[in-house]
Amino acid sequence: MIKKYISLLLCICLGITSASGAVWAREEEEESFFQGENREALEHVTGVDEEGNVIEAEDDGEEDTVIGRNPLTLEEGGQLVNFRTKSSSSVVTNYTDAVTGENGYTNGYYGADAAYLGMENGMVKFMLSGVTGLVSPSEVTIVNVDEASSISHYEVSGGRLIHRITTNLAGTSYLSNLDNGEAPDYLRSGADYYSYDGHYFYTFEDFEYMLSDYRSGTREHSVNASDPFFNYFQYLPLRSVSNYSAARMNDIINSRVSTGSKLREAGQLMVQAQDRYGINALLIAGIAANESAWGTSSISQSKNNLFGINAVDSSPGESADTFSSVAVCIEEYAQYFLSEQYLNPDNWKYSGGFLGNKASGLNVRYASDPYWGEKAAALAWSVNLTGGGEDSYVYTIGIKDILPEQTDLNVRADATTSSRAVYSTGEWPCYAFVILDSAPVSGFYRVQSDPALTDSRTDLEISARGNYQYETMYLYASSSYIDLVYRGSGDVPQISGVSFTDVSLDSWFYDYVKYIDDQEIMTGLNRYTFGPGENMARAQFALILYRMAGEPAVSDQTGTAFKDVGETWYTDAVKWASAAGIVTGYSNGCFGPGDNLNREQMVTMLYRYMQYMGYDTATSGSLGAFPDAAWVSDYAEDAIKWAIGLNIIQGDNGQIKPQDTVVRAVGATIITRFIKNIL
């Protein structure tokens, strides 16, 4: 958290100890009372079916039936731990991760059964959604498999691997039937397979062998002991890019939702959030579809809240959980909740930058639903299948600690053990990386960084406000600790997002700024500041035209030597523009590089640029329709008429306003339209 870093700096630089202590105390208090980002999920239990529909749990007639026995009086053995023991879905069950020692929580109304691994120090040991945990005997019951009317399992259906999840061991139905992607070859249709880690599968006949393997830390009796399965979208790090364009993502989601859904037209907003904050748009869509029931939940409808989050801190001035628009919701979710928190190793919520399960990934902290990550992945599969499968198996994914071990792996600035460790993974098992190259270099894989990095890639960028740049934010991790579970197709999309903190996703000029920034024609005032309301200077616009011309070579003899143009960042641009007849300067021999650019100057420079490049400038419009035409200077009249004729100038409330200063957002807009529509 930014507050945490500020407090630490105060402590070091000023000797203040109470500030950081107060922040950390607040974080500890937040963690101790945390019950998930979406509190609505505790009141309205939902599942996901095989087709990707979000369905609300119905009364199965056996809500109050708790089967099983008290673990402390157990005499008859047992294979299952029953977590569906609470009278209400609003009460979660707390446990301790036996591998990492971290506190965890789950909810039996979303996943009732776990593998029973015996007693340890008076606690019930279990495996559920990948995590090996210890829970108080008073919180659960123990059940024999032959007592259960339903047990969570996997089936192959239509070539897809489907996870059927029971939420009531006394009932016969399965609330969720989750698509895990293409079924691996070693699983056959018509058989049931059991797994409580989602990676290794056992037949019913080998159920006891499965429990024995879990206890011993092996998977030797599974049908795929040497080939663990990983659900691609469940383990694809969020620091990846969807192949779908903004328009295509809109079309795909619109085809999946009803007319009144809050997800309509949201696809382009997700792609914009991806471009700026480095969060895969398809995975955002999967999370949103799960949390908002495809944009139909009451909180999404009434509060523009697609993710069920409490937005008090991130939306000052607005009521809890309420956003002024869907655009604001998506932007703040990508920026504040994901990029700044769940993908920040210095935040207590960080457990790996992928959806994951209860062993690692966002699911550890994000939700009490033990299959939240798998559900979001299933909905990502649904969106992707609707779109033609363009995002399937594109990236190479590497996994640290496939079997539960305790490797806290350093992620370094360079491919050597002597380079700076920028962050470490923690001891989370099945920790996923995006692998950027086909092979390791000097024993290190180049990996996509979870946190935003400084320009030097040697530290976390705490001033980035969630902004992320894919092409520069990479690090290295030792290949000795990483197994490749997917080798990507190589068709990894390239992207350069808008990193400016003062250009919001719903700004009217966002697309124009993104275009000229992507084209490297007009850059920001610095890495994170574009200055949309700042006045554009004459030197800035000369540099823009120079870049558009391909930055021709200049010499000391090029152009007019203006008295006020020395050796600086715009020298070559002004020399070139002078030699090309695009700028002439003032009568006093100065150029005025820092002077504000007005509208008629900008149009005149564009007009002369067109002439220099050899384009036709014969088109001419009329000044007669504009009441302020008399304010157009003589030198600019032909240029203004040309711009009117080509609709470059359409008038501002019916006026040309030739002497008005051009602000940078307007400049970006005119340049973008000029390039796309005129050149």
**pLDDT tens readout for residues 282-311:** 999 999 999 999 999 989 999 999 998 873
Residues 439 and 349 both lie in one domain: yes
Residues 90 and 140 both lie in one domain: yes
Residues 238 and 375 both lie in one domain: yes
Tell me how far apart the terminal alpha carbons of the chain are, to the nearest angstrom.
Answer: 46
Beta-bridge partners for 444: 441, 478
Whether residue 15 lies inside any domain: the answer is: yes
| pLDDT band for position 403 (cuts 50, 70, 90) | confident
Whether the per-residue pLDDT at 216 is higher than 70: the answer is: yes
| pLDDT band for position 75 (cuts 50, 70, 90) | low
Residues 571 and 594 both lie in one domain: yes
CA neighbor of 343 nearest in space, from 260, 257, 249, 434: 434
Whether the per-residue pLDDT at 267 is higher than 60: the answer is: yes
| pLDDT band for position 31 (cuts 50, 70, 90) | low
Whether residue 45 lies inside any domain: the answer is: no
Q: What whole-number distance in Å separates Cα of residue 449 and Cα of residue 350? A: 13
Q: What are the residue ranges of helices labelled H in 395-495?
A: none
pTM: 0.77
Whether residue 228 lies inside any domain: the answer is: no
CATH at residue 308 = 1.10.530.10
- pLDDT, average across residues 75-96: 89
CA angle 46, 51, 52 (to 5 degrees): 45
Whether residue 273 lies inside any domain: the answer is: yes
538: helix, strand or coil: helix
Q: What whole-number distance in Å separates Cα of residue 362 and Cα of residue 233? A: 13
pLDDT (0 to 100) of residue 20? 40
- Phi/psi of residue 641, nearest 5 degrees: -60, -40
Residues 435 and 524 both lie in one domain: no
Whether residue 622 lies inside any domain: the answer is: yes
Residues 96 and 67 both lie in one domain: yes
pLDDT (0 to 100) of residue 69? 84
pLDDT (0 to 100) of residue 651? 72
Average pLDDT, the chain: 88
Whether the per-residue pLDDT at 3 is higher than 90: the answer is: no
Q: What whole-number distance in Å separates Cα of residue 302 and Cα of residue 35? A: 23
- pLDDT, average across residues 151-178: 97
Host domain of residue 273: 234-486
| pLDDT band for position 24 (cuts 50, 70, 90) | very low
Whether the per-residue pLDDT at 23 is higher than 60: the answer is: no
CA neighbor of 105 nearest in space, from 30, 35, 46, 41: 35
Residues 527 and 598 both lie in one domain: yes
| pLDDT band for position 94 (cuts 50, 70, 90) | very high
- pLDDT, average across residues 95-122: 95
Residues 393 and 446 both lie in one domain: yes
Whether the per-residue pLDDT at 485 is higher than 70: the answer is: yes
Whether the per-residue pLDDT at 8 is higher than 50: the answer is: no
Could you tell me the two tokens for 488? 């990507």
pLDDT (0 to 100) of residue 57? 87
Burial environment of residue 151 by CB neighbours within 10 A (0 to 12, 13 to 18, 19 or more): buried
CA angle 344, 305, 168 (to 5 degrees): 85
CA neighbor of 285 nearest in space, from 192, 355, 186: 355
615: helix, strand or coil: coil
Whether residue 533 lies inside any domain: the answer is: yes
Residues 440 and 331 both lie in one domain: yes
Whether the per-residue pLDDT at 674 is higher than 70: the answer is: yes
Residues 577 and 644 both lie in one domain: yes
Whether residue 424 lies inside any domain: the answer is: yes
Residues 130 and 106 both lie in one domain: yes
Cβ-Cβ contacts under 8 Å for 426 (sequence gap 6 or more): 100, 345, 350, 351, 352, 408
Whether residue 294 lies inside any domain: the answer is: yes
Percentage of residues of the chain with pLDDT beyond 90: 69
Beta-bridge partners for 398: 433, 484
Residues 21 and 91 both lie in one domain: no
Count of structural domains within the chain = 4
Q: What whole-number distance in Å separates Cα of residue 64 and Cα of residue 62? A: 6
